[in-house]
Amino acid sequence: MRVSKLIITFLTWIIVSLGMIWAFRESTDIRRNRLLIGHRISLQQPNNQIFIIPSDLYNTLDSFNLFGDSVFIEEINIGLLEEILCKHPHIRDAEVFSTWEGLLKINLIQKSAIARMVSDKKMNYLDKNGDLFPLSIHASDKLPVLTGFEDSNSRLEALIFIENALKHEAFPNGVTSIHRDKNGNYTVSPEWHNHEILWGEPGFFDNKAHKANAVYAYLLQNNDIDKLSKLDLRFKGQVVYTLNN
């Protein structure tokens, strides 16, 4: 008796599963056989970094006949469209799917930049992973400019420096530029005041930033901060600074 119940339960489960698979296929066929009523682009991007706008994608969408009349969903190669969008230099991820009503939804996530990288007289954006991607024709907020960072490890090192600077009181609003010489030494320009910092090797950030902050406080107290042109933090236990006449 118990064996019979198990067999019945198993067969019931098989029938229900097959029914669900059939229903899913049928619903998919129905959805794909619908007329396309339009498309909607959802673009996730930082407010201060508009690297791409919907009209930039119109040529790609037009190649899939998304602007045509009497187009059926099944005529659109959704997988290929999604793959092409993912390869766009300013798109990090893309998802394309159709709704029951016949609307094609295109959800995009734009890449974000941490800095601009200058190398071989070319400029690219640099993301949080140290990867480069092309500049956009659209305007964006000013980003730190990096020069002399020719490999991925040095670029990741620079990103850590930028992140630390944004968190430290010595660097309100971070830095505007970092140059790395052939020996790995940094020259840094802070955002808040026009002077250069001879930082040296990128390590010991907190110690060097604390020394810089102490000098800033001293110069502010003596009304000399506007004269500051150079700050040298390369030497252990001391700071050398230069004032304009």
pLDDT value of position 145: 97
pLDDT tens across 207-241, in order?
999 999 999 999 999 999 999 999 999 998 889 99
Owner of token pair 């502010």: 220
The structural domains of the chain, ordered by start, are: 34-110 (3.10.20.310), 115-243 (3.40.50.11690)
Most confident of 8-17, 28-37, 223-232: 223-232
Q: Return the closest-CA partner of residue 234 out of 192, 191, 189, 187.
A: 187
Cβ pair 44, 110 in contact under 8 A: yes
pLDDT, mean over the chain: 89
Q: What per-residue string of b and e applies to 88-101 under the rule 16 or more CB within 10 Å gives b?
A: bebbeebebebeee
Band of the pLDDT at 38, cuts 50, 70, 90?
Answer: very high
Distance CA 196, CA 97 (A): 51
